[in-house]
């Protein structure tokens, strides 16, 4: 029997034939006048690939064909797909994208049929990505990666238009959002990226709305609007968003529309209304004033959406007093009037100390980070609080405001000092705000290791401060520091506005190309909590200044980091935000501690004057004394009495255990 040895097919020859088939496929996709593939034509291409893969080496072209397969998509995308999308915007961009994605899927289907033999042997043996995955990934890498922000913005803007009552093409949105889901190939990351941006916009949208509606609508009117919005957002999810977004979306709408702004504004409004009734219709009868007071005490000592009214009122004040707050357009008189009313409402709150602590924390942020909109309003609200609740209530806060004025003066002296001692100049600008311990909330002064450049700054300032005030001890709180550094990236240099922690982490990459989590931890000497927050902000958030291996969204102690030289941004200067830690727990713990001291002091005061007193009477007097600031819990009082017995300030009577004696 004779075996006919066929000549092997050369790659270039074979590929020439393949290209003809591919061009036909492209023509079909471009809707050019091209007949469909006959089964014969398709079989011919499949067989060609098969033949080129089973030829003996060196004529086995499997590997080359695998690469050509990918290159075919890449070439098509750069020559045809991207140009068609490039100049389109908004809805037109979305339509084109939907068409292109649907074409791409068709192309992948046909191409993977032609090259099918690769999937069966070459790919399976090497366990490398299969044809379908490679094909779809091309679109993700070459189209989605470039256009996703533009597409995302277009989708979001359509959603906002619909919120404003414009009729939009919901089917189109549904198709675009399906792309986000499909392109993740089983993972939801792309959709989640979109979702995050969409939720952020939703929050901004409703925050704008709520600040308008608050002035336009009555309380019931506002609530009806809220209900309508919730209904519409639910419909939106049903029509074109992924079902997983529903709870998040609803939560955001509620959060924005039911803020402390609404709560406090509406409460003020109602209070004005009833006060007018009490004063007018009821001829200022004391009974009605009493009823009003009682009603408000009940209302204010309820907890709204997980926050106490003390916290809500403090946040409300913060919003009024900070830069870019939601009430920026209010006139000075209106702000003064609102603050005046808030201070009055505070009278109904039993936890005045809790309000003070929240207010102080927020005041500290406004002062230290220069968020305060107007110095006069700050002073005026403190004055109002002082007039109403006494000097002691505001003494710390006034101290803080004064500290800041001193700090500015001190900074000028420091500048003069440096200009008269130029040899001491550390080579970078340094601003130090010296605060008085005790006035300010307590901040962590960790052992964080600063980079050498910054250590020099600290030394210079320390020396300067010694020349002015010799016996003061300076404790540095790096956790509050901020820093501007210049990042030399491949495409351009960027100014990065960072916290001190972030900056010292980045500066370490001047010395090493890559650093592990553990190396960073030991070189920076930060707690795991702090370090994770810092690294997350630099490697996993909006600006990816560091590359992380493995490239996941959370920081783990086994990660390795390297400087991302390819990073760039449209802006010349970017601020890399470090999410603030939730301070609520801290405030509550601080207030609890202060309360224990206050109860102790009150018991000792009472017992010192009474010498011998029954338990019930002691509790009553103590509650009475403290109720100006807060409503002490009876159990706390009992515990403090027992503690004072143990510390031998008091003793329990031997005969009558309900009787206490003061021990001088």
Pick the binder of other proteins from 32, 486, 553, 639 (CB under 8 A).
639
- 497, containing H or E segment: strand 493-499
Question: Closest distance between other proteins and the C-beta of residue 599, in Å?
Answer: 13
Pick the binder of other proteins from 64, 514, 658, 663 (CB under 8 A).
658
Angle made by CA atoms 47, 49, 53, in degrees to the nearest 5:
115
Pick the binder of other proteins from 50, 274, 489, 615 (CB under 8 A).
615
**Should residue 306 be labelled a site residue for other proteins when binding is judged by CB under 8 A?**
no
With CB under 8 A, what is the number of residues at the site for other proteins? Answer: 14
Pick the binder of other proteins from 113, 225, 536, 652 (CB under 8 A).
652
Pick the binder of other proteins from 67, 486, 631, 647 (CB under 8 A).
647
**Nearest CB to other proteins, comparing residues 321 and 641:** 641
DSSP assignments along 419-447, one per residue: HH-GGG--SS--------TTTSPP-----
Measured CA to CA, the distance from residue 485 to residue 480 in angstroms comes to 16
**Nearest CB to other proteins, comparing residues 385 and 637:** 637
Question: Closest distance between other proteins and the C-beta of residue 658, in Å?
Answer: 5
Measured CA to CA, the distance from residue 157 to residue 458 in angstroms comes to 48
Task: Give the single-character DSSP code of 87.
Answer: T
**Nearest CB to other proteins, comparing residues 263 and 649:** 649
Q: Which one of 46-54, 312-320, 357-365, 646-654 is the stretch in contact with other proteins (CB under 8 A)?
A: 646-654
Measured CA to CA, the distance from residue 614 to residue 121 in angstroms comes to 92
Pick the binder of other proteins from 262, 641, 649, 662 (CB under 8 A).
641
Q: Which of 366, 266, 253 is nearest to 312 (CA)?
A: 266
Residue 97 tokens, joined: 């994208």
Q: Which of 74, 66, 73, 70 is nearest to 125 (CA)?
A: 66
**Should residue 56 be labelled a site residue for other proteins when binding is judged by CB under 8 A?**
no
**Nearest CB to other proteins, comparing residues 75 and 651:** 651
Question: Closest distance between other proteins and the C-beta of residue 625, in Å?
Answer: 19
Start-end of H helices in 184-331:
189-216, 219-239, 246-257, 260-279, 286-300, 309-321
Question: Closest distance between other proteins and the C-beta of residue 653, in Å?
Answer: 10
Site for other proteins in 77-96 (CB under 8 A): none
Do 545 and 539 contact (CB within 8 A), yes or no?
yes
**Should residue 11 be labelled a site residue for other proteins when binding is judged by CB under 8 A?**
no
3 state SS of 381: helix
Q: Which one of 27-35, 491-499, 534-542, 650-658 is the stretch in contact with other proteins (CB under 8 A)?
A: 650-658
Q: Which one of 4-12, 78-86, 146-154, 638-646 is the stretch in contact with other proteins (CB under 8 A)?
A: 638-646
Question: Closest distance between other proteins and the C-beta of residue 650, in Å?
Answer: 9
Site for other proteins in 502-521 (CB under 8 A): none
**Should residue 616 be labelled a site residue for other proteins when binding is judged by CB under 8 A?**
yes
Q: Which of 553, 551, 530 is nearest to 541 (CA)?
A: 553
Q: Which of 191, 232, 192, 193 is nearest to 209 (CA)?
A: 232
Task: Give the single-character DSSP code of 614.
Answer: E
Q: Which one of 183-191, 305-313, 570-578, 641-649 is the stretch in contact with other proteins (CB under 8 A)?
A: 641-649
Question: Closest distance between other proteins and the C-beta of residue 603, in Å?
Answer: 13
Q: Which of 298, 319, 162 is nearest to 241 (CA)?
A: 162
**Should residue 646 be labelled a site residue for other proteins when binding is judged by CB under 8 A?**
yes
Alpha carbon separation from 512 to 287, 452, 515, 545, 563 (Å, rounded) = 75, 15, 7, 15, 9
Q: Which one of 122-130, 596-604, 621-629, 653-661 is the stretch in contact with other proteins (CB under 8 A)?
A: 653-661
Question: Closest distance between other proteins and the C-beta of residue 641, in Å?
Answer: 8
Q: Please report how the helices 260-279 and 309-321 are oriented relative to each other, as an axis angle in degrees rounded to 10.
A: 100
Q: What are phi and psi of 7, to 5 degrees?
A: -65, 135
Do 173 and 159 contact (CB within 8 A), yes or no?
yes
User: What is the distance, to the nearest Å, from the Cα of residue 349 to the centroid of all Cα atoms in its chain?
Assistant: 30
**Nearest CB to other proteins, comparing residues 443 and 615:** 615
Q: What pairs with residue 236 in β-bridges?
A: none
**Should residue 599 be labelled a site residue for other proteins when binding is judged by CB under 8 A?**
no
Pick the binder of other proteins from 585, 635, 655, 664 (CB under 8 A).
635
Q: Which one of 124-132, 221-229, 286-294, 655-663 is the stretch in contact with other proteins (CB under 8 A)?
A: 655-663
- Characterize the bridge pairing of strands 307-308 and 303-304: antiparallel
**Should residue 596 be labelled a site residue for other proteins when binding is judged by CB under 8 A?**
no
Start-end of H helices in 421-516:
452-468, 500-507
**Should residue 638 be labelled a site residue for other proteins when binding is judged by CB under 8 A?**
yes
**Should residue 589 be labelled a site residue for other proteins when binding is judged by CB under 8 A?**
no
Question: Closest distance between other proteins and the C-beta of residue 618, in Å?
Answer: 9
| Long-range contacts of the stretch 218-221 (C-beta < 8 A, 24+) | 219/266, 219/269, 219/270
Q: Which one of 199-207, 312-320, 491-499, 631-639 is the stretch in contact with other proteins (CB under 8 A)?
A: 631-639
Task: Give the single-character DSSP code of 36.
Answer: P
Q: Is the peptide bond before 550 cis (omega within 30 degrees of 0)?
A: yes
Question: Closest distance between other proteins and the C-beta of residue 634, in Å?
Answer: 9
**Should residue 645 be labelled a site residue for other proteins when binding is judged by CB under 8 A?**
yes
**Should residue 604 be labelled a site residue for other proteins when binding is judged by CB under 8 A?**
no
**Should residue 657 be labelled a site residue for other proteins when binding is judged by CB under 8 A?**
yes
**Should residue 331 be labelled a site residue for other proteins when binding is judged by CB under 8 A?**
no
**Should residue 462 be labelled a site residue for other proteins when binding is judged by CB under 8 A?**
no
Q: Which one of 54-62, 79-87, 587-595, 633-641 is the stretch in contact with other proteins (CB under 8 A)?
A: 633-641
Q: Which one of 13-21, 223-231, 340-348, 645-653 is the stretch in contact with other proteins (CB under 8 A)?
A: 645-653
Task: Give the single-character DSSP code of 480.
Answer: G
Binding stretches for other proteins (CB under 8 A): 615-616, 635, 638-639, 641-642, 645-647, 652, 657-658, 660
């Amino acid at each position: 029997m004779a075996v006919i040895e066929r000549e092997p097919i050369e790659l270039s020859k074979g590929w020439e034939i393949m290209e003809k088939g591919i061009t036909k496929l492209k023509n079909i996709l471009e809707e050019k006048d091209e007949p469909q593939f006959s089964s014969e034509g398709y079989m011919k291409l499949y067989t060609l690939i098969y033949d080129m893969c089973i030829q003996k080496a060196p004529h086995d072209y499997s590997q080359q064909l695998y690469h050509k397969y990918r290159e075919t998509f890449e070439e098509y995308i750069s020559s045809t797909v991207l140009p068609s999308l490039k100049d389109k915007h908004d809805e037109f961009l979305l339509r084109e994208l939907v068409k292109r994605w649907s074409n791409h899927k068709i192309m992948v289907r046909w191409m993977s049929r032609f090259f099918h033999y690769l999937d069966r042997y070459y790919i399976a043996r090497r366990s490398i990505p299969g044809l379908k995955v490679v094909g779809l990934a091309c679109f993700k890498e070459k189209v989605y990666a470039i256009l996703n922000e533009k597409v995302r913005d277009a989708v979001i803007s359509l959603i906002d238009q619909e919120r404003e009552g414009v009729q939009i093409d919901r089917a189109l949105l549904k198709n675009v959002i399906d792309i986000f889901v499909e392109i993740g190939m089983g993972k939801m990351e792309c959709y989640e990226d979109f979702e995050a941006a969409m939720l952020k916009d939703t929050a901004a949208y409703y925050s704008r709305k709520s600040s308008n509606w608050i002035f336009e609508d009555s309380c019931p009117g506002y609530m009806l609007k809220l209900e309508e919005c919730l209904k519409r957002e639910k419909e939106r999810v049903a029509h074109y968003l992924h079902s997983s977004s529903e709870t998040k979306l609803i939560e955001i709408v509620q959060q924005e529309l039911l803020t402390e702004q609404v709560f406090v504004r509406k409460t003020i409004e109602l209070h004005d209304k009833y006060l007018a009734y009490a004063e007018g219709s009821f001829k200022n009868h004391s009974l009605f004033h009493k009823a009003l007071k009682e009603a408000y005490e009940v209302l204010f000592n309820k907890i709204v959406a997980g926050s106490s009214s003390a916290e809500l009122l403090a946040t409300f004040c913060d919003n009024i007093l900070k830069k870019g707050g939601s009430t920026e357009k209010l006139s000075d008189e209106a702000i003064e009037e609102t603050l005046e009313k808030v201070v009055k409402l505070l009278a109904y709150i039993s936890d005045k100390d809790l309000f003070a602590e929240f207010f102080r924390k927020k005041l500290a942020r406004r002062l230290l980070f220069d968020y305060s909109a107007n110095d006069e309003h700050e002073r005026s609200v403190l004055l109002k609080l002082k007039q109403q609740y006494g000097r002691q209530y505001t003494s710390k806060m006034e101290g803080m405001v004064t500290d800041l004025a001193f700090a500015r003066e001190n900074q000028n002296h420091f500048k003069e000092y440096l200009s008269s001692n130029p040899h001491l100049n550390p080579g970078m600008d340094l601003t130090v705000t010296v605060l008085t311990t005790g006035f300010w909330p307590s901040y962590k002064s960790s052992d964080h290791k600063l980079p050498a450049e910054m250590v020099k700054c600290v030394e210079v300032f320390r020396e300067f401060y010694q020349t002015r005030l010799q016996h003061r001890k300076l404790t540095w709180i790096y956790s509050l520091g901020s820093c501007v550094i210049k990042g030399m990236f491949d495409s351009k240099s960027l100014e990065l506005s960072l916290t001190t922690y972030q900056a010292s982490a980045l500066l370490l990459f001047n010395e090493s190309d890559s650093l592990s989590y553990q190396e960073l931890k030991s070189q920076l000497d930060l707690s795991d909590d702090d370090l994770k927050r810092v690294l997350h902000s630099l490697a996993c958030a909006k600006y990816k200044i560091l590359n992380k291996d493995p490239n996941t969204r959370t920081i783990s102690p086994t990660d390795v980091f390297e400087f991302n030289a390819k990073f760039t941004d449209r802006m010349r200067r970017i601020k890399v935000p470090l999410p603030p830690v939730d301070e609520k727990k801290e405030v509550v713990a601080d207030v609890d501690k202060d309360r224990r001291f206050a109860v102790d002091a009150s018991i000792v005061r009472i017992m010192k004057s009474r010498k011998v007193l029954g338990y019930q009477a002691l509790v009553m007097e103590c509650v009475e004394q403290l109720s100006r600031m807060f409503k002490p819990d009876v159990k706390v009082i009992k515990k403090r009495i027992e503690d004072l017995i143990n510390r031998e300030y008091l003793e329990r009577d031997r005969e009558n255990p309900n009787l206490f004696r003061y021990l001088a």
